[in-house]
């Protein structure tokens, strides 16, 4: 049995996942270990990054805390200096009298003693005196803070600049102003803070609340880590924050050499893993590849043991495979032997004969070999009488006889009844006379147990020249020759290609017939039935004709028997009935309401579905049909056939017994069949004028039919003399070439028209 292998569509990933086992193992090992290395490297990288970030966070927190301490110290220092200045009696007097020059001199002296601090005096109306004696107006927010707070301090923003400020009230004894001490938080001040950190941070003051409520919290951006702390505002209503940041690149810079080393180690490890994975996969898959190669060799018909020296599972698997291989060889040899041997007789069979014949013809040539088949006739009867076992023994005895008489030729049992021989062309038994002697010598009774079995033999010979061009081989030619011998009751027959014909043509005959039903190849011709009492046409018989485009005219005797054998007769009959009904409707339309007879196969008389179909067609069309059947139509199942015939008659379909007298006519069947009409076969009518006995037989048949209520139609009427005799005998109608040959419907219409015109003018 052939198993069709369908191609498997593979996805792109199947290059790796669907490749060889070695590639799969290499990929899996490399992928798993590579994944482990990547995970380790990733874990190291993440650990380094986390530790670096935590170290930076701690340093940032330290810087923020240091800034807070410095801020507190600076604020306390400025506040103490402001208290000293505000407590000076002369300074208070100058402020109370608004002596600008004295105020400027005092604050200038105080400012000179303080590095990085600026001193000023604010009057209760918001005017501000600087160290150079310049008067200006305080910003509203700062002035409002002085009015609302006793000793305000914090960050104040002036012209987008930030200042650490402290204000101390000056009383003499009432409030006459405020001593203002402030220091700009510029880049220099921030740089001093940055220098205090162990890492290269960046510090800046920003407006707004950028600080977290958690003093230990930090923040991250895509480029840096930072910490923030909210600073007290001088006015109290404006949020100011200190922001300290450190770049991530700088945080990871110390670890880059280590990470580069880890990367190089990972790449080296991956390469080492791939190489080692291939080595491991190769060592693991080598025995599997050896087994696979052996299995493929076994599939192609070769035997290749597997050599795996290891003692592991693969070694044991290889030993099991080699053991299985030996068992398989022994089993296959046994199967081959069984396939070439007949199980009943132990003789070589048809397959062995075909193989040996092919070998002989290849070595010695076709012309040097002859094939002979010796057949046991009536073998089925013999087997039924003595049983299968005894019949097989009889064949074995016959085969030994044949081999002994044929100089040791090997006999083959090629079928249940046939013994085949392959003989040299010079062997005397390949000629008909020699084979007759062999048949006579071997056709002696065979003793099987206590029974004597008669062996009736015939034979066939296949010769190269006689069978050249035949569609079958020499063995089949000899079998066909044996068929000829058996049918002719002859002991020997030689294959004749002309007699054999070409049965292959009949294989396509039915399909071509079915096609002809639709393409116009089939047609109906009509032969008239002539009423002898009325001297006019009383009906027609429909006869099928087939004009084949290649075969030419195909006669009904060639394709109707084949249709009956193949079961296509039903379709053919239905086509004929349908066309006959259509043609009768045409006749009726032309004024000729005449019945049409259709020949129906005996098989249809046992087919109830056909009967129901035909009755439906006739009833629906109102047609006048007569089904012509032979006496043998009721032989297979008389009860069923008679029931269907009665059904036809009850629905208006007439029944005619066709070809009466041509076969084994039986009065019992004639009595059983409720027919309307009896048609005497033309074999009687053609010899009607040659002897008195034919006249008596036809006369008695006509009288018998009339007595049974049937009309009589005589077929094969070819002369006026015969027609006159039939009229005198009382026949009802005549049919034959004397009246008209079968012709198409159009010709029958012309014939009817001419007869009508002749009657009208008479």
Q: Which residue has the higher pLDDT, 720 or 30?
A: 720
The confidence score (pLDDT) of residue 653 equals 95
pLDDT at 722: 93
Q: Which range in 14-23, 183-192, 676-685 is most confidently predicted, on average pLDDT?
A: 676-685
Q: How far apart are CA 673 and CA 210, in angstroms?
A: 121
In the chain, list all ranges with CATH 3.30.70.270.
340-500
What are the CA-CA distances from residue 270 to residues 35, 42, 390, 402, 694 (Å)?
9, 14, 80, 81, 113
CA distances from 630 to 647, 673, 710 (A): 17, 10, 15
Mean pLDDT in residue range 487-502:
84
442: nearest Cα among 738, 450, 434: 434
Distance CA 26, CA 24 (A): 5
Sequence ranges of the chain with CATH classification 3.20.20.450: 569-761
Mean pLDDT of all residues in 344-349 = 88
Confidence band of 505 (pLDDT split at 50, 70, 90):
low
**Residue 541 to residue 599: CA distance in whole angstroms:** 8
SS3 171: strand
Q: Between the CA of residue 88 and those of 182, 308, 536, 615, what are the distances in Å?
A: 19, 111, 170, 147
Q: How far apart are CA 664 and CA 631, in angstroms?
A: 8
How far apart are the two ends of the chain, measured CA to CA in Å?
80
Give the tens place of pLDDT for each residue, 288-302: 667 777 777 767 667
Model confidence at 310, pLDDT cuts 50, 70, 90, reads low
Sorted by sequence, the CB contacts under 8 Å of residue 34 that are 6+ apart come out as 269, 270, 273
> Is it true that domain 340-500 has CATH number 3.40.50.300?
no
The CA-based diameter of the chain, rounded to the nearest angstrom, is: 189
Q: Where are the alpha helices (DSSP H) in 302-453?
A: 313-339, 350-364, 379-386, 388-405, 432-442
Q: Where in the chain is the domain with CATH 1.10.8?
A: 286-334
User: How far is CA 526 from its chain centroid?
Assistant: 55
In terms of Cα–Cα distance, which of 682, 654, 714 is closest to 529? Answer: 714
Confidence (pLDDT) at 762: 64
Q: How far apart are CA 279 and CA 746, in angstroms?
A: 94
User: Position of tokens 């740089």?
Assistant: 191
Which CATH code fits 569-761?
A: 3.20.20.450
* Segments in 239-312 forming alpha helices (H): 248-252, 256-299
pLDDT over 80 at 746, yes or no: yes
Indicate if the pLDDT at residue 686 is higher than 50: yes
For residue 4, what pLDDT is reported?
44
Residue 330 has pLDDT above 80, yes or no: no
Count CB neighbours of 408 within 10 A.
7
**Rounded CA gap, 709 and 516, in Å?**
40
- Check pLDDT > 60 for residue 386: yes
Q: Where are the alpha helices (DSSP H) in 474-552?
A: 474-488, 497-500, 504-507, 509-519
Give 487 or 631, the one with higher predicted confidence. 487
Q: Which CATH class is domain 286-334?
A: mainly alpha
**Residue indicated by tokens 């014949």:** 357
Q: What does CATH list as the number for 26-251?
A: 3.30.450.20
Pair type for strands 127-129 and 118-122:
antiparallel
User: According to the per-residue pLDDT averaged within each range, which of 181-195, 267-281, 458-472, 591-605 is highest?
Assistant: 591-605
- The predicted pLDDT at position 712 comes to 95
| Residue 285: predicted pLDDT | 66
Two tokens at 527?
């032969």
Give helix then strand counts, H and E, for the chain: 26, 27
- Strands ordered across the beta sheet of 127-129: 135-137, 127-129, 118-122, 175-184, 161-171, 153-158
Q: Is the previous residue joined to 60 through a cis bond, with omega within 30 degrees of 0?
A: no
Among 213, 211, 208, 215, residue whose Cα is nearest residue 237: 208
Res. 13: pLDDT tops 50: no
Contact present, 328 and 334 (Cβ < 8 Å):
no
Q: Which of 270-284, 314-328, 516-530 has the highest mean pLDDT?
A: 516-530
Ranked by mean pLDDT, which of 41-55, 265-279, 383-397 comes out on top? 383-397
Q: Of 263, 224, 244, which is closest to residue 45 (Cα–Cα)?
A: 263
Look at 586 and 313; give whichever has higher pLDDT.
Answer: 586
Q: How does DSSP classify residue 246?
A: E
Count of CB atoms situated within 10 Å of the CB of 493: 23
Task: Select from 492, 490, 524, 518 the least CA-distant residue to 597.
Answer: 524
Element (H, E) at 609: helix 608-621
What pLDDT does residue 281 have? 66
Statement: residue 232 has pLDDT above 90 = no
CA distances for 138 relative to 91, 171, 660, angstroms: 20, 19, 149
Is the Cβ–Cβ distance between 537 and 531 less than 8 Å?
Answer: yes
Distances (CA, A) of 61 to 187, 218, 244, 611: 20, 8, 9, 111
pTM over 0.75: no
Is the pLDDT at 358 greater than 60? The verdict is yes
Higher-confidence residue of 714 and 316: namely 714
Q: At residue 61, does pLDDT exceed 70?
A: yes
Q: What is the pLDDT of residue 7?
A: 45
pLDDT of residue 665: 54
Residue 217 has what pLDDT?
A: 63
- Residue 719 confidence (pLDDT): 93
Tell me the per-residue pLDDT of 128-138, one tens digit each, with 9 for 90 and over: 998 888 888 88
Rounded mean pLDDT, 498-526:
84
pLDDT at 575 over 70: yes
Residue 270 has what pLDDT? 73
Domain with CATH 3.30.450.20 in the chain: 26-251
Q: Which residues contact 224 (CB under 8 A, 6 or more apart)?
A: 245, 246, 247, 248
Which two tokens mark 739?
A: 């009246």
Hunting for tokens 């101390």 — which residue is that?
168
pLDDT band at 3; cut points 50, 70, 90: very low
Specify the higher pLDDT residue, 166 or 4: 166
Structure tokens given for 206? 């920003």
CA separation for the pair 566, 746 (Å, rounded): 33
Mean confidence (pLDDT) of the chain? 84
Q: What is the pLDDT of residues 431-463, one digit of tens each?
A: 999 999 999 999 888 888 777 888 899 999 999
> Which run of H or of E encompasses 655?
strand 654-660
pLDDT above 70: residue 502: no
Element (H, E) at 599: strand 596-599
Q: Phi/psi at 134 (nearest 5 deg)?
A: -80, 135
Mean pLDDT of 279-286: 69
Question: 357: which 2 tokens?
Answer: 């014949």
**Taking the mean position of all CA atoms in its chain, how far away is CA 231?**
79
The 10 Å CB-count burial string (b at 16+, else e) for 448-475 is beeeebebebbbbbbbbebbeebebebb
- Rounded Cα gap, residues 112 and 118, in angstroms: 9
């Amino acid at each position: 049995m052939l198993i069709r292998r369908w191609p498997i569509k593979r996805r792109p990933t199947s290059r790796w996942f669907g490749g060889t086992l070695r590639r799969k193992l290499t990929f899996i090992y490399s992928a798993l270990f590579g994944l482990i290395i990547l995970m380790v490297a990733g874990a190291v990288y993440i650990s380094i990054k986390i530790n670096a970030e935590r170290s930076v966070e701690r340093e940032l927190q330290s810087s923020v805390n240091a800034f807070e301490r410095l801020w507190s110290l600076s604020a306390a220092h400025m506040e103490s200096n402001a208290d000293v200045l505000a407590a000076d009696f002369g300074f208070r007097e100058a402020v109370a009298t608004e002596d600008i020059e004295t105020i400027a001199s005092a604050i200038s002296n105080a400012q000179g003693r303080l590095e990085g601090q600026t001193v000023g005096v604010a009057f209760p109306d918001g005017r501000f005196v600087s160290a150079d004696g310049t008067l200006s107006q305080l910003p509203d927010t700062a002035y409002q803070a002085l009015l609302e707070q006793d000793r305000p301090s914090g960050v104040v923003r002036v012209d987008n600049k930030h200042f650490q400020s402290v204000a101390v009230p000056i009383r003499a004894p009432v409030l006459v102003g405020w001593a203002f001490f402030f220091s700009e938080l510029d880049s220099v001040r921030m740089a001093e803070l940055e220098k205090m950190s162990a890492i290269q941070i960046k510090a800046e003051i920003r407006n707004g609340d950028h600080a977290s409520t958690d003093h230990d919290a930090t923040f991250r951006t895509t480029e840096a880590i930072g910490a923030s702390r909210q600073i007290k505002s001088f006015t109290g209503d404006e949020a100011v924050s200190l922001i300290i940041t450190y770049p991530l690149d700088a945080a990871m810079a110390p670890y880059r050499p280590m990470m580069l080393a880890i990367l190089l180690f990972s790449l080296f490890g991956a390469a080492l893993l791939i190489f080692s994975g291939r080595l491991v996969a190769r060592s693991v898959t080598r025995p599997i590849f050896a087994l696979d190669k052996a299995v493929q060799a076994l599939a192609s018909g070769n035997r290749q043991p597997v050599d795996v020296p290891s003692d592991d599972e693969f070694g044991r698997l290889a030993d099991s495979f080699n053991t299985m291989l030996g068992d398989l060889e022994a089993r296959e040899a046994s199967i081959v032997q069984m396939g070439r041997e007949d199980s009943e007789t132990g003789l070589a069979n048809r397959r062995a004969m075909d193989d040996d014949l092919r070998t002989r013809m290849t070595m010695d040539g076709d012309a040097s070999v002859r094939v002979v088949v010796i057949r046991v006739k009536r073998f089925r009867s013999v087997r039924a009488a003595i049983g299968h076992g005894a019949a097989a023994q009889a064949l074995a005895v016959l085969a030994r006889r044949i081999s002994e008489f044929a100089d040791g030729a090997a006999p083959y049992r090629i079928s249940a009844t046939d013994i085949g021989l392959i003989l040299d062309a010079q062997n005397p038994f390949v000629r008909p006379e020699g084979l007759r002697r062999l048949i006579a010598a071997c056709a002696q009774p065979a003793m099987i147990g206590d029974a004597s079995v008669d062996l009736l033999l015939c034979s066939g010979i296949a010769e190269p020249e006689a069978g050249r061009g035949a569609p079958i081989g020499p063995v089949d030619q000899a079998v066909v020759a044996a068929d000829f011998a058996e049918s002719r009751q002859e002991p020997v027959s030689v294959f004749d290609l002309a007699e054999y014909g070409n049965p292959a043509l009949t294989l396509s005959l039915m399909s071509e017939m079915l096609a002809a039903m639709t393409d116009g190849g089939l047609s109906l011709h009509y032969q008239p039935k002539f009423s002898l009492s009325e001297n006019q046409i009383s009906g027609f018989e429909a006869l099928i004709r087939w004009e084949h485009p290649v075969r030419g005219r195909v006669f009904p005797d060639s394709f109707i028997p084949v249709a009956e054998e193949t079961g296509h007769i039903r379709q053919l009959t239905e086509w004929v009935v349908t066309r006959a009904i259509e043609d009768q409707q045409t006749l009726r339309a032309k004024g000729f309401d005449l019945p049409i007879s259709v020949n129906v196969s005996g098989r249809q008389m046992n087919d109830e579905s056909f009967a129901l179909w035909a009755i439906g067609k006739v009833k629906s069309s109102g047609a006048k049909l007569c089904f012509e059947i032979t006496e043998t139509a009721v032989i297979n199942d008389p009860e069923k056939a008679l029931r269907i015939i009665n059904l036809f008659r009850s629905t208006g379909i007439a029944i005619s017994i066709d070809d009466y007298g041509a076969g084994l006519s039986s009065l019992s069947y004639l009595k059983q069949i409720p027919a309307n009409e009896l048609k005497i076969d033309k074999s009687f009518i053609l010899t009607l004028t040659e002897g008195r006995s034919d006249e008596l037989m036809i006369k008695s048949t006509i009288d018998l039919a009339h007595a049974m209520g049937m009309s009589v139609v005589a077929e094969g009427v070819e002369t006026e003399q015969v027609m006159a005799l039939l009229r005198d005998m009382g026949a009802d109608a005549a049919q034959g070439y004397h009246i008209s040959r079968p012709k198409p419907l159009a010709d029958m219409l012309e014939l009817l028209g001419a007869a009508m015109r002749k009657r009208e003018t008479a």
